[in-house]
Amino acid sequence: MTTTTTAIILAAGKGTRMRSALPKVLQPLAGKPILQHIVDAVEQANIDQKIIVCGHEAELVKHTINAEHLQWVFQAEQLGTGHAVDCAMPSVTGDKVLVLVGDALLITADTLSRLIAQCPEQGMSLLTAIAPDPTGLGRIIRRQDGSVCSIIEHKDASETELCINEINTGIMCLSHDVLEEYLPKLRSDNAQGELYLTDVIGLCAEDEVVINAVTADFNETMGVNDKLQLAKAERIYQQLQVERLMQQGCTVIDPSRVDVRGTVDIGMDVLIDVNVVLEGQVSLGNGVIIEPNCVLKNCQIADNVHIKAFSHLEEATVGVSAIIGPYARLRPGAKLEKDVRVGNFVEIKKSQIDEGAKINHLSYVGDAEVGKNANIGAGTITCNYDGVNKFKTQIGEGAFIGSNSSLIAPVTIGENAVTGAGSAIAKDVPDSALGIARAKQRNIESWKK
């Protein structure tokens, strides 16, 4: 017979210590809600049933978190972690029940699997850690033979108990029968007047139910209760992300000054300079260089692309050996082919820029197609919007757009066509023609000031 496992994630609390209108479990870490990190780890651990106990801002929490086959249980009043688990019990189908606090977000699927494996058929396993500073956490009380005897919450602990630095991570796995038997026995005669799930351990120990303690690294199990702990957890998380990049051969100039808020696929010999933020799904080809202070969100960057300092790229695709920036902005739908150059103060939105085209200075290119090797002069604007609708600009292969041209869309500039500097081009320019639309210069002789 195969045993099945149910995970219950406790996420009904307000998180008062965060001092925020946003519920604690939705506070972002690396751009992703705390609770979503936990749900993702549970998902990876191949658990049969996933239940989240919600309460405070339940609708918002439900709408924000996504995962397949999640079950939600509502805890109207937050009467303690034991009560929260009790609320979920009628929905539980698994033989083993993995309980997770909704704020220990760095937990990995590996550790969860290890804990589940250590849970006996009629007993429990408890994840503990050695905390450098155990303030606020439940302490693990052991007997002389080393077996776990109970958990004492910080607020209920005596002076000597407070000296214990082995703590309850809030993550445990219990056989369904044990949980069912001991939950009704919880009492709220403690400092917080709550039904503590942690009291199940003491009751089990009294009855000699097997309790297997499994230890984990404190950093992986820390719960975040306030903004200080959130910032600490963020640093730990970022350190892990950047280590992963370096293990894949990426040169990171300063590992403490790169942030990953999503997933990064990375080639060989990539160089990332300081203060770079990678968000969403980012892929970086071989030999990509990212200079300081760049943000890349949901971008695909091909081999040997060079992104110069202070560039901002979002939902953009950049072809092989292109050079971007400094101070460039690629907005959603910017698609740059091989060897394209985009220089300073250039904004590109929803446009296809073909191989070898250059847009080097101070331009706005939106809803456009720019042909191969076209050269867009400084200060060119595609006037794509009339206040109501958006229109397209087409620029042919080899075209040369003179500086400070306004291309009033819809408009087509032919292949190898030229526009005169300072033109407002409202009509199509045929292939190889010069389009010029500006007032003629008049010189007035002997002009005196």
Q: Which one, 105 or 362, has the nearer CB to ligand UD1?
A: 105
Alpha helices in 67-148 (DSSP H): 81-88, 109-117
Let me know if 306 is a catalytic residue: no
- Name the residue with the smallest CB distance to ligand UD1: 138
Distance CA 49, CA 6 (A): 5
Closest contact distance (angstroms) between CB of 216 and ligand UD1 is: 12
Q: Which one, 225 or 286, has the nearer CB to ligand UD1?
A: 225
Position among 196, 218, 237, 364 found at the interface with ligand UD1 (CB under 6 A): 196
User: How many distinct helices (H) and strands (E) make up the chain?
Assistant: 9, 37
Binding region for ligand UD1 (CB under 6 A) out of 168-176, 227-235, 248-256, 318-326: 168-176
Distance CA 73, CA 89 (A): 10
Told to check if 179 binds ligand UD1 by CB under 6 A, we report: no
Measured CA distances, 89 to 103, 177, 180, 431 (Å): 21, 11, 8, 74
Position among 58, 73, 98, 104 found at the interface with ligand UD1 (CB under 6 A): 104
Position among 41, 99, 106, 137 found at the interface with ligand UD1 (CB under 6 A): 137
How many of the chain's residues bind Mg ion (CB under 5 A)? 3
Distance CA 140, CA 152 (A): 7
**Distance from the Cα of residue 160 to its chain's centroid:** 41
Distance CA 122, CA 174 (A): 8
Closest contact distance (angstroms) between CB of 112 and ligand UD1 is: 15
Given a contact cutoff of 8 angstroms between Cβ atoms, the answer to whether 35 and 26 are in contact is: yes
DSSP for 217-281?
-HHHH----SHHHHHHHHHHHHHHHHHHHHHTT-EES-GGGEEEEEEEEE-SS-EE-SSEEEEEE
How many of the chain's residues bind ligand UD1 (CB under 6 A)? 30
Told to check if 259 binds Mg ion by CB under 5 A, we report: no
Told to check if 314 binds Mg ion by CB under 5 A, we report: no
CA angle 284/265/318 to nearest 5° reads 30
Told to check if 295 binds ligand UD1 by CB under 6 A, we report: no
Closest contact distance (angstroms) between CB of 109 and ligand UD1 is: 19
Q: Which one, 35 or 245, has the nearer CB to Mg ion?
A: 35
If contact means CB under 5 to 8 A according to the sort of partner, which of ligand UD1, Mg ion, none does residue 346 touch? Answer: none
Q: Please, which residues have CB within 8 angstroms of residue 206's CB and are 6 or more apart in sequence?
A: none
Instruction: List % helix, strand, coil for the chain (3-state, nearest 5).
Output: 20, 35, 45
Position among 94, 123, 223, 402 found at the interface with ligand UD1 (CB under 6 A): 223
Given a contact cutoff of 8 angstroms between Cβ atoms, the answer to whether 127 and 40 are in contact is: no
Measured CA distances, 59 to 26, 62, 72 (Å): 12, 5, 10
**CB crowding 34-50: b at 16 or more within 10 Å, else e:** bbbbbbebbbebebebb
Position among 49, 73, 97, 103 found at the interface with ligand UD1 (CB under 6 A): 103
If contact means CB under 5 to 8 A according to the sort of partner, which of Mg ion, ligand UD1, none does residue 190 touch? Answer: none
Position among 15, 55, 223, 343 found at the interface with Mg ion (CB under 5 A): 223
Instruction: Give, as ranges, the residues between 63 and 102 that touch ligand UD1 (CB under 6 A).
Output: 75, 78-81, 83-84, 101-102
Determine which one of 56, 83, 154, 361 is catalytic.
Answer: 361
Chain positions contacting ligand UD1, by CB under 6 A: 10-13, 25, 53, 75, 78-81, 83-84, 101-104, 137-138, 151, 153, 167-170, 196-198, 223, 225
Chain positions contacting Mg ion, by CB under 5 A: 103, 223, 225
Positions marked active-site: 361
